[in-house]
Amino acid sequence: MPADSPDHGGCRMKISRREAMTGLAALGLCGGPAFGQGTALRPGSAEDLIAAAQLGGEVSYVVVDARSGLVLEQRGADRGMPPASTAKTITSLYALETLGPDYRFRTRLIATGPIAGGKIQGDLVLAGGGDPTLETDALAEMAARLAAAGVRGVTGRFLVWGGAIPSAEQIADDQPVQVGYNPGISGLILNYNRVYFEWKRAAGGYALTMDARGARNVPRVYSADVGLSSRAAPLFTYARQGGKEHWTVATGSLGKAGSRWLPVRDPVAYAGDVFQTLARAQGVPLPAPKPVAMLPGGTVLVEQASAPLPVILRAMMKHSTNVTAEAVGMTTSVARGAPAGRGASGAAMSEWLHARLGGGRARFVDHSGLGADTRISAMEMVRAVTLLGPKAGLRGLMKPFALRDAGGKVQQGQALRVDAKTGTLNFVSTLTGYMTAPDGTELAFAIFTGDVARRARAGASEQPQGGRAWISRSKVLQSALLERWGALYGS
């Protein structure tokens, strides 16, 4: 018998939550630790759903009573698996406990000397505070406020500081070079550290542009450029030379016109470049931006505060922005006095989780779930959701999850209320969150599916063969399991 044989795998009859609890109490489980084992019902129905999905690899899950933590059903729930973006659930809990719900990130303009004759007698510093939501329009507002303060220039330098958190050129090393969800990290973040690349067919070829567009401002970017190549593959190449980011794109892939966001690997240079352009538009010419490792002292002239942390986390959970997770997680590690580099900060979060759960084997290499080596079990995830989630208001940060029918279409008028965080990598699909059944029963769950070997074979492909179909089948399985649990334990 395989080690991951499911509890309750074959129950085909409909039982109430009260009946399930009574059966568990009769086995002496309700009086023990909250995370005890559920009853072992006949195998079959859950296994039938899994077999029908034809995923290969591993499928693990656990569903518990959200109030008591009592395990109702599980399959391989102690096996460490890649959580993909459901790791952001743990990052949210980590940040809220440490930073608190009132925390705001702050980006500042600092003058190292007094203003005389409209000029700063010294340097102007653009100082990042790790705000992952800073966008071009907010930076333009800072430039306007600088001009409104009477500044018309500087006698010294224009310095840019991104040292609030450690820097990295990318989040994960195994991703395609061009994907916008794997940018560089630093304490100064702009437009989620992405640059907008647009192409249009023009006389003799293509017109290519790179900008940092916002809703109202579209400044040209000078810290990055892009050129054409007649090669068939790869689609994009990237290099850094002379303090500038250089891209090339395969001409045959462009078509008539289009656009996409490309990742920025040097966020400090990018933000400084864009601010220089925005300040010039406000009548404040600045010298070329110069990155600095140490933050100079001085007077704060302009401060831009982010939304409160829960607002940022809710948007992160909805849109699954990796750079937000990394900035939030690393800021949390800095606040805790822990090592905060790319891998070290993930390790610090792992240790924090082990302490909160009283042990465990979860291992995070980052805060977004993008890294291939992160592992956590479904049981550890659900324990975090049930033990730590209520105090943090975790369910309110998650987005409603729409169930899908056997054909993969979104169901209309679903009876179950599901709030969850999804996670997707090539040949990895995960889901964790809360479910309210029609009778009001509250359940918490984690479902992890992953074919790690097939993912490794796919390499750094943006759209590997069979990948989309695999993800679609996994999502159908997730919905089927949720419906099954609602019927078994929610009536």
Do 343 and 259 lie in one domain? The reply is no
Q: Which helix H or strand E contains 453, and what residues bound it? A: helix 452-458
Domain termination site, one of 253, 281, 305 = 305
Determine the average pLDDT of the residues in 227-236. 94
pLDDT score for 150: 98
170 phi, psi to nearest 5 deg: -160, 165
pLDDT score for 94: 99
Do 351 and 465 lie in one domain? The reply is yes
Q: What is the dihedral of CA 451, 36, 362, 450, to 10 degrees?
A: 10
pLDDT tens by residue, 301-360: 999 999 999 999 999 999 999 999 999 999 999 999 999 998 999 999 999 999 999 999
Residue 234: asked if its preceding bond is cis (omega within 30°), the reply is: yes
Determine the average pLDDT of the residues in 68-87. 98
Nearest to 292 by CA among 110, 105, 143: 110
pLDDT score for 21: 40
Residue 32 has pLDDT above 70, yes or no: no
* CATH number of the domain enclosing 321: 3.40.710.10
**Residue 3 maps to a domain:** no
What is the chain's Cα-based Rg?
Answer: 25
**Residue 2 maps to a domain:** no
In Å, how far from its chain's centre is CA 64?
25
Asked whether 110 and 127 are in contact (CB, 8 A), the reply is yes
Q: What is the dihedral of CA 167, 169, 172, 177, to 10 degrees?
A: 160
Tokens of 29: 């489980």
**Residue 367 maps to a domain:** yes
Do 170 and 245 lie in one domain? The reply is yes
Residues in the chain: 491
Tokens of 458: 């796919």
pLDDT score for 217: 98
Residue 277 has pLDDT above 90, yes or no: yes
Q: Which domain holds residue 138?
A: 106-305
Task: Give the strand order in the sheet containing 106-111.
Answer: 289-292, 158-161, 124-127, 106-111, 299-305
Asked whether 183 and 323 are in contact (CB, 8 A), the reply is yes
Residue 25 has pLDDT above 60, yes or no: no
**Residue 4 maps to a domain:** no
Tell me the Ramachandran region of residue 93: left when phi exceeds 0, alpha when psi lies from -120 to 50, beta otherwise.
Answer: alpha
Do 74 and 118 lie in one domain? The reply is no
Do 263 and 291 lie in one domain? The reply is yes
Beta bridge partners of 424: 429
Domain termination site, one of 267, 285, 305 = 305
pLDDT score for 408: 84
Q: Residues 6 or more apart from 7 whose CB is under 8 A from it?
A: 37, 38, 39, 40, 41, 71, 73, 74, 75
Do 150 and 280 lie in one domain? The reply is yes
Domain termination site, one of 284, 305, 326 = 305
pLDDT tier for residue 414 given thresholds of 50, 70 and 90? confident
pLDDT score for 35: 42
Percent of the chain with pLDDT over 90: 85
* Residue 263 three-state SS: strand
Do 34 and 143 lie in one domain? The reply is no
Do 175 and 301 lie in one domain? The reply is yes
Work out how many domains the chain is built from and give that number. 2
Determine the average pLDDT of the residues in 48-64. 96
Determine the average pLDDT of the residues in 250-275. 97
pLDDT tier for residue 461 given thresholds of 50, 70 and 90? confident
Judged on CB neighbours under 10 Å (0-12, 13-18, 19+), 255 is exposed
Residue 40 has pLDDT above 90, yes or no: no
pLDDT score for 411: 85
Residue 27 has pLDDT above 80, yes or no: no
pLDDT score for 406: 86
- The residue assigned the tokens 């084992």 is 37
* CATH number of the domain enclosing 149: 3.50.80.20
pLDDT tens by residue, 124-182: 999 999 999 999 999 999 999 999 999 999 999 999 999 999 999 999 999 999 999 99
Residue 3 has pLDDT above 70, yes or no: no
Residue 403 has pLDDT above 90, yes or no: yes
Residue 447 has pLDDT above 80, yes or no: yes
pLDDT score for 224: 98
What 8-state DSSP symbol labels residue 265? S
What 8-state DSSP symbol labels residue 463? S
**Residue 5 maps to a domain:** no
pLDDT score for 462: 87
pLDDT score for 76: 98
pLDDT tier for residue 43 given thresholds of 50, 70 and 90? very low
Do 186 and 48 lie in one domain? The reply is no
**Residue 35 maps to a domain:** yes
